[in-house]
Structure 1
Amino acid sequence: MRAAVITSFGAADVLHEAEVDTPVPGRGQVLVEVRAAGLNPAELLARSGGFDLPAPAIIGFEFAGTVAALGDDVTGIEVGARVAGWPDGFAQGSYAEFTLSSNYTIIPDGVSFTDAAATVIAADNAARGLSLLRPDPGETIVVTGASGALGGAAVQFARLQGLTVIGISGRSSLGYVESLGAIAVEHGDDLADRVRAVAPGPIDAALDTAGKGLVSTLLDLRGGTGRVVTLADPAAAAQGVTFSAGHPGNRDTRPVREALEHIAAGRWRTRIARTFPLRLAAEAHRALEAGHTGGKLLLVP
């Protein structure tokens, strides 16, 4: 099979297309023919050596595709089923024509592979972050990075739960954030004061999906660390802020399935900026590193 392979770790140029053996599903696994793979900041860290992966490695932490083969003891799924989920290994990931998975959900009819692949990590992490805040309907929450895949998922889950959402984004994305049902506020100077000016009442909770030093603004808005969660700034834990990172032990297909069902019903939006073939994986990483992508980036084998 073709894959974007890393034989040494470093800058984006270490990614290159190569022919490698197609993996064989083990007990409880399915072999998935990858139709789309999302690009995520954690993969930049993995590529540069931050995860201490063995080389050669195939990274890629989310996928959408079709089941090509079943391992032993796999039930409830058939070859040909459309699925989205996580590869089982950090070094045998989704930047490839095929990957192995035991953690996936069915893609509903009417949902594209690209929309599904753009939703897995975002929906799972956003739902976990919101659950840590314990929101009640009618409360007001601030979400940073509201125009990104993760922030957009958080905004949409929060709105579906009956929350008023104030979404922070760059100027070019304010209209998109408003289309998700949030009150959009531009990132920049005097942010806390501008958020207070549009809030219908007190800020009850805050979710950081952007990092970039915005936790201090959320602490100002909340008057302390209570009900402030970051999904993007591990350094904030030193200030007493709850930091929650996604990892194999806390992945949950239920919010992924819920988001996909909302997409099928026309109640959920994804924002895909660009797709790349495997041979341009390095270019895709450079685009992700540059930021301001205007939506999700995907590899399409």
Structure 2
Amino acid sequence: MFALTFSEYGSSDVLAVTEVPEPHAGPGQIRIKVRTAAVNPIDWKIRAGYLQELFPVEFPGIPGWDSAGVVDEVGEGVTGVEVGDEVIGYGPTSQAEYTVVDHFTPKPAAMSWELAAALPTAAETAVRSLDLLGLAEGQTVVIDGAAGSVGSAAAQFAVARGLDVIGTASEGNHEYLRSLGVRPTVYGEGLAERVAALAPEGVHGAIDAVGAGSLPELAAITGDPKQVVTIADFSGSVPDAQVTVAASAFHALGEATALFEAGKFSLRIDSVRELADAAKAQDESQTGHAAGKLILNVATD
């Protein structure tokens, strides 16, 4: 099969579309013929060698964790899905003609292939972060970086759970946050004072979705560092803050598609590129300025 691969750590120049052996579905797995896949920051961090201890690569490596496509093989013990079904998958090596996953959910018929591929990492990480906070209906959460993919996913899940959501973003994204049911404010210095004005009765939890050094201020806002979750700041500046480096709330895919079908969940798409242009997508992801998810068109038919 064809796949995006890299045979050494390095810049995006090490990426190339090559031929590699096909994987096959084992027990508890399905194989997906991939239509679309998403590019996430973890892709270029693994490719560059920054995460060798957490995610060692057996070369040639195949990037990607998010896929959408058609079931091609069903492994032993898998029920509720058949060859030909359209699904959304979460698992490594998604940027290839075929990928094998054991975490998946049916793709709603009305959902575009681009949005389907955009969901897994954003939804899983967002739900994982909210689950770590354990907030109850009516409580208030601050999301730093609420206009990004994980931040906006977390905001939509939080609103659906009945939470009061305050989100930081540049002023140009404030109307977008309001459309999600979020009360917006700008990020940066003075955040604690701005949040206090919006939530005089206090804040019960916070999510750092950008890793821009806000952990100490978020800890001050909540009054308890254990009620702060970060997906991007591993500096240890707030030792008791909770850190999540990978998605592991696998029920999130079903939650996201159910909310989508109720008209209450979506993600912004920045661009759609061909698999051969994946290096450009990874470079754009590395700038941190993408205005939504970066999607790769993998299908050739």
User: 70-79 vs 36-45, which deviates more?
Assistant: 70-79
> What residue is the counterpart of 1:57 in the other structure?
61
Structure 2 unaligned regions, length at least 5: none
Q: Percent identity?
A: 37
In structure 2, what residue type is equivalent to 1:154?
A
Distance of 2:297 and 2:101 partners within structure 1 = 18
- 1:63-212 matched pairs, under 5 angstroms: 63-87=67-91, 90=92, 93-199=93-199, 201-212=201-212
Is this contact kept in 2: 1:109–1:264, CA < 8 A? no
Query: Are 2:214 and 1:217 aligned?
Result: no
Query: Are 2:277 and 1:297 aligned?
Result: no
Q: For the structure 1 residues 224 and 69, does the alpha-carbon distance in structure 2 shift closer, same or farther, using more than 3 Å as the test?
A: closer
SS in 1 for 2:72: strand
SS in 1 for 2:174: helix
> What residue is the counterpart of 2:262 in the other structure?
265
SS in 2 for 1:31: strand
Distance of 1:200 and 1:160 partners within structure 2 = 23
TM-aligned CA deviation for residue 251 of structure 1: 4.3
TM-aligned CA deviation for residue 297 of structure 1: 0.7
Q: For the structure 1 residues 12 and 195, does the alpha-carbon distance in structure 2 shift closer, same or farther, using more than 3 Å as the test?
A: same
Pairwise CA RMSD of aligned residues? 1.7
User: 74-83 vs 275-284, which deviates more?
Assistant: 74-83
In structure 2, what residue type is equivalent to 1:72?
E
Select which of 255, 276, 280 maps to 1:279: 276
TM-aligned CA deviation for residue 108 of structure 1: 2.0
> What residue is the counterpart of 2:242 in the other structure?
242
> What residue is the counterpart of 2:9 in the other structure?
9
Structure 1 unaligned regions, length at least 5: none
TM-aligned CA deviation for residue 36 of structure 1: 1.3
User: 193-202 vs 272-281, which deviates more?
Assistant: 193-202
> What residue is the counterpart of 2:252 in the other structure?
255
Distance of 1:53 and 1:261 partners within structure 2 = 34
Distance of 1:220 and 1:81 partners within structure 2 = 48
SS in 2 for 1:150: helix
Q: So what's the TM-score if we normalise by structure 2?
A: 0.92
In structure 1, what residue type is equivalent to 2:258?
E
Is this contact kept in 1: 2:225–2:238, CA < 8 A? no
- Cα deviation digits, residues 64-107 of structure 1 (max 9, x gap): 111012233433211111111223xx4xx011121111221111
Q: For the structure 1 residues 205 and 166, does the alpha-carbon distance in structure 2 shift closer, same or farther, using more than 3 Å as the test?
A: same
TM-aligned CA deviation for residue 11 of structure 1: 0.7
In structure 2, what residue type is equivalent to 1:7?
S
Distance of 1:123 and 1:237 partners within structure 2 = 26
**Number of residue pairs matched by the alignment:** 294
TM-aligned CA deviation for residue 296 of structure 1: 0.7
SS in 2 for 1:3: strand
In structure 1, what residue type is equivalent to 2:19?
E
Distance of 2:204 and 2:30 partners within structure 1 = 43
- Cα deviation digits, residues 182-216 of structure 1 (max 9, x gap): 01111233222122222253112111111111111
Is this contact kept in 1: 2:205–2:222, CA < 8 A? yes
Distance of 1:48 and 1:142 partners within structure 2 = 32
